[in-house]
Amino acid sequence: MKRRKILIDTDTGSDDALSIAMALREPLFDVVAITTVAGNVPLETATENALMTIDYAERDKPPVYMGCSKPLFRELLTADSVHGKDGMGDLGIFTKSKRKPETEHAVDAIIRYADMGDVEFHTIGPLTNIAVAIMQNPEAMRKIPKITMMGGAIFRGNTGHLAEFNFWQDAEAADIVFNFGIPITTITIEACATPDTRILEEDMLMLKNTGSRLAAFCVDCNSTMAENVFRNSGERYFVTADPTATAVMARPDLIKKSVTSYTRFDIDGEYTYGMTVNDLRKTDSIYISKDTVLKPHNCTIVYEVDGAGFKEYLFSLII
């Protein structure tokens, strides 16, 4: 079977690292490049974490390219409280990579890979790099066959009522990308944060006891997230946001509930900035007002997955 060429765009925090490791271990994927963007952590830290994850996944590629160091119009607001200042739990136990990023800017690399016409994109961070590439070379970017994203919300956000962190971090960029016309499948925060997709304390112990260096890495780097949950709820687990999107990209049979939508983002609201605005109405619907103009749907939203199937798939890749 021909392997699918994948470019991963990431703001490498702890769940991104797990997602990258999964993609690198997935036999169906040929990860041709990783591009980094500021989000969970500053750009340099995201890049270091991506390089380190390749080491722990025991792969000798792909190349890593550094991208945008801040959102298009706002200052960067990192997620230290979730992932730690280093994005990997602030444990200080991981071996830094000796690898170096490429000298080519991530936006230029994205345009070059997009122009090939057979590279799928997998975004697990803010969409700043992708938006800049669209503005610089829309002709090349229109050749991307599909983007699978982790981001957005349909019922409840994690950074606001209907705002999810990846898209909230740079809502202007998200709006540019969704309005551009590339086929998009986005896996919302609701799909990633259900009880049956959580990595529970017993799962963590099981993974650590396998003796797999990669499994231990994936558990340890998410320890800050698990401890935050424990302090707030008395339970110890971590949420697998980006890994759920990676699983859906490889295994669409894991999707339980999805819907098509015309999706845009609030970029003006004082209290609603970054909110995912999903118009689920069909263009052939009948309305009282003859002036109603409905936009064609621009994405597929996945909002529920098979949690047990997801975890089984995840464990099979990292143990």
Question: Catalytic site residues?
Answer: 11
3-state secondary structure the chain: CCCEEEEEEECCCHHHHHHHHHHHHCCCEEEEEEEECCCCCCHHHHHHHHHHHHHHCCCCCCCEEECCCCCCCCCCCCCHHHHCCCCCCCCCCCCCCCCCCCCCCHHHHHHHHHHCCCEEEEECCCCHHHHHHHHHCHHHHCCCCCEEEECCCCCCCCCCCCECHHHHHCHHHHHHHHCCCCCEEEECHHHHCCHHHCEEHHHHHHHHHCCCHHHHHHHHCCHHHHHHHHHHHCCCEECCHHHHHHHHHHCHHHEEEEEEEEEEECCCCCCCCCEEEEECCCCCCCCCCCCCCCCCCCEEEEEEECHHHHHHHHHHHHC
Residue pair 294/187 in contact by the 8 Å Cβ criterion: no
33, with CB counted inside 10 A (0-12, 13-18, 19+), is: buried
